[in-house]
Amino acid sequence: MISPARPLAASRAPLTLAAIILLFAVLALTGIAFGSTWIPLAQVWDVLLGADIRGKTVIILQFRLPRVVIAALAGGGFAIAGYLLQRVTRNELASPGILGVVDGAALAVVCFLAALSNESNALVTSVAYQPVAAVAGSIAAIFVVFSFAGRQAASAIRLLLFGTAVAAVLKSLTVIAMLVGPVYQAGQAARWIAGAVNEINWNEIRITAIGMLPLVLLVLIVARRLPPADLDETSARSVGLNLPSFRIQIFILAAAITALSAAFVGGVGFIGLMAPHLARRLIGRTVHFGLIGSFFIGASMLVGADLLVRVLFSPTEVPAGTVPAVIGAPYFLYLLMRNQRHD
């Protein structure tokens, strides 16, 4: 169960949120400045404001800025989806990865890449359809989870259990699709699954942003109806809220946001688990502050992860998604053991 946030956290929420946004800005600027050569932060700032500095403008705008922007969009998207799932299931262990959403997107994208790529490893169709495949896969995974859950879908714990089982099956099917698909496609699919933010172009960023903007606006609208953490199904009915039906709507919305976040970056795990939990601890239970805080914490996590792997492994490109996986697995075990002690 989600533990109540400390009252002190709510009183300092605006200041804490400002600090989180400042941290993200510092990480983003540092991520743009760092690479094969260090570009002074003052020059980075000048280029972002429109200055043309020979030898630096192309590097910043065409190579480094895109990977920071897509990492921010994807990390923030995973975090918002995780916040929605944790809030509506009243369980801090809920996340897109646990509920099969990420794995549904992964299977759909791997099949998309395998079926619609030629022997030169180039897509024979527009890359704009890749997010469509990811969204379709994620929503299909959600429907599979609810179909298996049946009448037990009213139970958040049951949904988590069925979601975990469906995620395991989808992960296995993804591996099979990679093995039986074209050999030339396996490397690109493996890179996508690991979660990489390099080799991103502005067209892919534009597609992600255009698709995510209306979904985030919809989240801010429905956030007013998110039930309190301690509201059960019986209490929800007493205030006119059909919680099982509302939960399905939130699951679909979270699935769509997750799929768009993963469409070009890949199935980055555990950000959707960690970021909302940290936001709740730091900011409190205010929904809109929690959503905004989750977004910037998730964005900071993926931007910071990409910066970390570049510092540690340069010039080798290591997928940024490996860092949240290494940190997130022990964090999940910590949450699991803490919940068991409270039961």
Share of the chain above pLDDT 70, in %: 85
Sign of CA dihedral 189, 248, 339, 230: positive
How far apart (Å, rounded) are the C-alpha atoms in residues 270 and 302?
11
Model confidence at 11: pLDDT above 70: no
Q: What is the pLDDT, as a whole number, of residue 301?
A: 94
- Confidence class of residue 207 from pLDDT cuts 50, 70 and 90? very high
At residue 3, what are phi and psi to the nearest 5 degrees?
-80, 145
Taking only the tens place, the pLDDT of each residue in 261-283 is 988 888 787 899 899 999 988 98
pTM as predicted: 0.86
Give every CB contact of residue 304 below 8 A, 6+ residues apart in sequence.
Answer: 27, 31, 323
Categorize the per-residue pLDDT at 78 as very low, low, confident or very high, splitting at 50, 70 and 90: very high
pLDDT band at 295 (very low <50, low <70, confident <90, very high): very high
Residue 322 has pLDDT above 90, yes or no: no
pLDDT of res. 161: 81
Output the pLDDT for position 235. 62
Per-residue H/E/C for 78-129: HHHHHHHHHHHHCCCCCCCCCCCHHHHHHHHHHHHHHHCECCCCCECCCCCH
What rounded mean pLDDT belongs to the chain?
Answer: 82
117 beta partners? 123
Q: How far apart are CA 79 and CA 275, in angstroms?
A: 6
Q: What is the pLDDT of residues 174-192, one digit of tens each?
A: 888 888 777 566 666 777 7
Q: What is the pLDDT confidence band of residue 199, given thresholds at 50, 70 and 90?
A: confident
On whether the CB atoms of residues 95 and 227 are closer than 8 A, the answer is no
Whose structure tokens read 């990409």? 306
Token reading at 172:
């296995």
43 compared with 163, residue with greater pLDDT: 43
